[in-house]
Amino acid sequence: MIQHEGPMGTMNPHEMQMMRMWEQLSDDQKTTLMKRMLDAKIMMKEGMIKQLQFKIETMKLIKGMLEKK
């Protein structure tokens, strides 16, 4: 059995299974999957930004309340 060396050493069984599945996909399927993976990352980052914006707005609201005293 050939062992593939990655940045952290040999591949675990899950990584090997994912590699085998990837090799079975057509080019169109690979493109679709990559687009969905990118969309998921974009959605996650947008969610993080919205959460930070909410926190900033909350801090500004609290600061304004404290300044009125």
Q: Summarize pLDDT for 7-34 with one digit per residue, the tens.
A: 566 889 999 998 999 999 999 999 999 9
- Higher confidence at residue 12 or residue 50? 50
Are 19 and 11 within 8 A, CB to CB?
Answer: yes
Q: Could you tell me the pTM of the whole model?
A: 0.63
In whole angstroms, give the CA distance from residue 41 to residue 52: 17
Average pLDDT, the chain: 89
What is the pLDDT, as a whole number, of residue 1? Answer: 45
Q: How far is the CA of 8 from the CAs of 2, 5, 12, 20, 51, in angstroms?
A: 16, 8, 10, 19, 33
**pLDDT of 43 strictly over 60:** yes
Written as one letter, the residue type at 7 is: P
What are the C-alpha distances in Å from 15 to residues 8, 11, 38? 12, 6, 19
Residue 6 reports pLDDT greater than 80: no
